[in-house]
Amino acid sequence: MPDTAVVTGAARGIGRALASRLAREGWQLVVADLDAAELAAVADATGALAVPGDTSTDAGVRHLVDTAYAHLGHVDVFFANAGIGTLKGLDASDAEWTRTLETNVLAHVRAARQLVPRWLDAGGGRLVVTASAAGLLTMLGDAPYSVSKHAAVSFAEWLSATYRHRGVVVQAICPQGVQTRMLDGSGPLKDLLTLDATLTADEVADAAWRALATDDFYVLPHPEVRDYYAQRAAHPDAWLAGMNRLQQKLDHQIQTSTTSTTTSTQEPA
């Protein structure tokens, strides 16, 4: 079993849970996040080296990987976990699209550029991408998130197809609803995201830990996602019609909530 890892987006949520699980197993860690204060707390709790910074940028990724190799000597597993959402559709600005794609997709590309040549020289390595079930299905109410997570899965697939025979293992974690700050801030989407069981970040980390003993590409903490994905592939029009029905329910919920709020604010004191 490998024993060194880098975890991005480690200040909270799934990233923090991954770092905690690996630390309990005795791994040596480097953790990264934009939030330096919360990252420092995670590093203190796990014995990791904290590298605060923006791992969506080329300079940030280069600095993280170089620092990790200098500190650890080698990197067995890189958890590309950092991700963001917008909760917007066509109203998302170009800047929001760019930021989401930089964080959710290009960060993985930039990490692979730095890591894969090193892994090929060393005889192997493992990239684990936190992609979300949105990368296999879709994400109503957040176009940039949905598109970027599909792209993240697609890039991970390409890496696996290209380098697996040379010892590079690539895996994609694709959970549905997880009890994180992102879910808490999802507004009207929260009910949709929690139609099936909502897992804790620790449960997702446990699934990722078990997956390290395999070379399976998909890591599905919510097993029902496999069935949804199969239905989508086999019956795309029926699947899209079902998703549209969910969107109609979401529209109704938003309209009802807006009407209720408007009525409440107009009532006399």
pLDDT given at position 193: 55
The residue annotated as part of the active site, out of 145, 163, 218, 228, is 145
pLDDT given at position 253: 75
22: number of Cβ within 10 Å: 26
pLDDT given at position 263: 45
Query: What is residue 103's DSSP assignment?
Result: I
Active site residue 145: yes
Tokens 């995201």 belong to which residue?
193
One pLDDT digit (tens) per residue for the chain, 269 residues: 569 999 999 999 999 999 999 999 999 999 999 999 999 999 999 999 999 999 999 999 999 999 999 999 999 999 999 999 999 999 999 999 999 999 999 999 999 999 999 999 999 999 999 999 999 999 898 999 999 999 999 999 999 999 999 999 999 999 988 776 655 554 565 565 556 678 999 999 999 999 999 999 999 999 999 999 999 999 999 999 999 988 888 887 777 665 554 444 444 43
pLDDT given at position 266: 46
Contact 225, 174 (CB under 8 A): yes
pLDDT given at position 262: 44
pLDDT given at position 178: 79
pLDDT given at position 181: 60
Could you give the count of Cα atoms lying within 13 Å of 194 in the half-sphere of its Cβ?
15
Measure the CA–CA gap between 253 and 249, rounded to whole angstroms.
6
Measure the CA–CA gap between 244 and 224, rounded to whole angstroms.
20
**146-159 residue pLDDT tens:** 999 999 999 999 99
Tokens of 182: 């992102």
39: number of Cβ within 10 Å: 25
Whole-Å CA distances, 158 to 63, 96, 109, 154, 168 = 25, 26, 11, 6, 12
